Amino acid sequence: MPRFEPYRVTVAVLAGLAAVLFAYPVVRIGLDLEIDYNEGWSVYQQLRAMTGESPYSGEGPLFFNNYPPLSFYLVGLLGRVSGDTLLTGRLLSVLAMAVIALCSGVVVRAGGGGRADAILAVSTCLALFCSFATDYVGVNDPQLLAQGFLCAGFALYVGGPPTPARLAAVAALFAAGLLTKHNVLVLPLVVTVHVLWRVPGKARWSYLLTGTTLAGAATAVIWVMFGADFFRQLLSPRIYDVGRGVLLTVEVLGRLQAPLTLAVLFLILRRNGAVGGQVAAYLAGGLVLGIGFAGGAGVDVNIFFDAMVAIAIAIGLAAAWLRRQPALPRVAPAILALLANAGVILFTPEALGRFAVDALGEFELRQRLFRDDVAYLRGIPGPVVCESMLLCQRAGKPMWVDPYNVVQATLTGRLPRDVLVGALARHEAAVVQISSQREHPRDEAPGVQTMPQRFINFSDDIFDEIERSYALDRVGLSGRFYRPRPF
């Protein structure tokens, strides 16, 4: 009989668990409703790019865009071929998630790990994202697409000898990632430092020249296509809240505490060659970036994605090292794998319950209710203010108001406070759709402070004006719908 291998059995079970968790966002991609707030915003920009209009000028002063342009044109072009831009963006997100996880395994193999260790890294990466960042997996949002480009570049860099052609390809992938989302800075910095420090002449110059050439060409093309609008929008300030940053950091690192602790201990106590050193720098950089930017408005768990990928890679490398220690019991790598995925395992019953409820009819019910909301809006002429921008887009309404960014532009002084308030007072919106609540409820007890909301899409003065000038007309899946009161 073959000898029982607790580590391989454990890895196989965790891989199956990760596959089940990944199945949920895969099944969800075809839903005709909004999964995340950014989806409608993204579709508007992608469709605008395909009409030849600039995603950075907008159709008025109340719609903003501070993302790089590549995803709008890539998703828009593929969406034109497929006939469904939203579905295309979601499919690319799922594909990018698979690429990120597989690249984690490639890096572990390059660092000396075996096949089981690579599978452990892939499974841990997939499970962490599908447990604690479900709102990003399979969603029409550029974050995972950018991470996919970057992780592919890192895997290519460590996966073979540093030839000029390989280093040029790495630089091109990094450029694609940064042109998709601008907060994926850690891997390019880590690899660039390593190239300057360790890579010999021709390959080093290939990497640097390719990177600088692409950066210069991209800047020139962006300037010709969008002019100063791009740079003004990209560099526009947002509110930074230290308290919010602390809360987000504690929340995310609390979920990651088991795998993060194991990864940090391994990377500190064991030097694991060039790959291990780069992974340690990747994890450190990911944590510094995440903690530093956590207080920024609009930032969510996505700011810690680099740290999550680095953790998964480090767990695979740690298991490979444990298997090579003859003095340790054979179950040691299995225990490591289970401890690293303890949070995921505890989350699994909730995830499976949600999956079952949705599959047994909740998905279909929510789609029907969302379509009812779309039909309601479509039947009312005139512009609409939507907190669910996909709802407005599906109802054929123009991209008029970007609620979250209007709040940020107002708070930073880029937009007069009375612009949207004045438009509502004049009944310029035929309908206002809101799902969120006031930041500061009026019935709050004196001296009692509530926990700050993650995102504020409408400031209190907007709520005040809605109460004065609008009356509740409908409550649906997408929230509350208000119509103008008579003057």
Each residue's pLDDT tens digit, 388-408: 999 999 999 998 999 988 999
- Are residues 342 and 397 both part of a single domain? no
Residue of 371, 389, 350, 299 lying closest to 24 (CA atoms): 350
DSSP state at residue 358: I
Are 170 and 207 in contact by the 8 Å Cβ rule? The answer is yes
- Are residues 240 and 326 both part of a single domain? yes
- Are residues 197 and 120 both part of a single domain? yes
Helices 38-50 & 85-110, crossing angle to 10 degrees? 110
- Are residues 250 and 124 both part of a single domain? yes
Higher pLDDT, 61 or 177: 177
Cross-strand partners of 386 = 433
Across 215-223, average pLDDT: 96
For residue 81, the one-letter residue type is V
Q: Is residue 55 part of a domain?
A: no
Each residue's pLDDT tens digit, 291-337:
999 998 888 999 999 999 999 999 999 999 999 998 889 999 999 99
Residue of 418, 421, 409 lying closest to 456 (CA atoms): 409
Domain count across the chain: 2
Residue of 402, 452, 386, 408 lying closest to 297 (CA atoms): 408
The residue count of the chain comes to 487
φ/ψ (deg, to 5) at 181: -150, 140
Q: Is residue 163 part of a domain?
A: yes
Question: What are the strands, taking DSSP E only, across 320-388?
Answer: 384-386
Place of tokens 């209190």: 460
Place of tokens 């034109």: 80
**What span, in angstroms and rounded, lies between the C-alpha atoms of 72 and 56?**
11
DSSP code string of 220-258: HHHHHHHTHHHHHHHT----B-HHHHHHHHHHHHHHTHH
With 70 as the cut, is the pLDDT of residue 199 above it? yes
**What span, in angstroms and rounded, lies between the C-alpha atoms of 154 and 52?**
34
Are 485 and 469 in contact by the 8 Å Cβ rule? The answer is yes
- Are residues 145 and 210 both part of a single domain? yes
Across 474-484, average pLDDT: 97
With 60 as the cut, is the pLDDT of residue 381 above it? yes
- Are residues 133 and 260 both part of a single domain? yes
With 80 as the cut, is the pLDDT of residue 443 above it? no
CA dihedral 432, 435, 440, 443 (to 10 degrees): 100
Choosing from 306, 338, 353, the residue where a domain stops is 353
Q: Is residue 339 part of a domain?
A: yes
Would you tell me how many other CB atoms lie within 10 Å of the CB of residue 8?
Answer: 16
Q: To the nearest whole number, what is the mean pLDDT of the chain?
A: 92
Binned at pLDDT 50, 70 and 90, residue 454 comes out as low
Query: CB burial class (10 A; 0-12, 13-18, 19+) of residue 154?
Result: buried
- Are residues 287 and 398 both part of a single domain? no
pTM, two decimals, is: 0.94
With 60 as the cut, is the pLDDT of residue 446 above it? no
**What span, in angstroms and rounded, lies between the C-alpha atoms of 231 and 227?**
8
Binned at pLDDT 50, 70 and 90, residue 163 comes out as very high
**Percent with pLDDT over 70 in the chain:** 96
Each residue's pLDDT tens digit, 341-364:
999 999 889 888 988 899 889 999
Choosing from 319, 353, 387, the residue where a domain stops is 353
Q: Is residue 367 part of a domain?
A: no
pLDDT at 3: 56
- Are residues 343 and 387 both part of a single domain? no
Q: Is residue 287 part of a domain?
A: yes
- Are residues 320 and 393 both part of a single domain? no
Higher pLDDT, 232 or 128: 128
**What span, in angstroms and rounded, lies between the C-alpha atoms of 170 and 188?**
9
**What span, in angstroms and rounded, lies between the C-alpha atoms of 376 and 389?**
15
Place of tokens 């592919």: 152
Q: Is residue 96 part of a domain?
A: yes
Residue of 452, 72, 434, 385 lying closest to 245 (CA atoms): 452
- Are residues 290 and 385 both part of a single domain? no
Instruction: Tell me the pairing of strands 384-386 and 431-434.
Output: parallel
**What span, in angstroms and rounded, lies between the C-alpha atoms of 281 and 277?**
6
pLDDT at 69: 96
Q: Is residue 368 part of a domain?
A: no
Across 189-201, average pLDDT: 95
What is the chain's percent helix, strand, coil content, to nearest 5? 65, 5, 30
- Are residues 128 and 273 both part of a single domain? yes
Choosing from 353, 368, 393, the residue where a domain stops is 353
Give the domain range for residue 428.
379-484
Q: Is residue 325 part of a domain?
A: yes
Are 96 and 144 in contact by the 8 Å Cβ rule? The answer is yes
- Are residues 202 and 108 both part of a single domain? yes
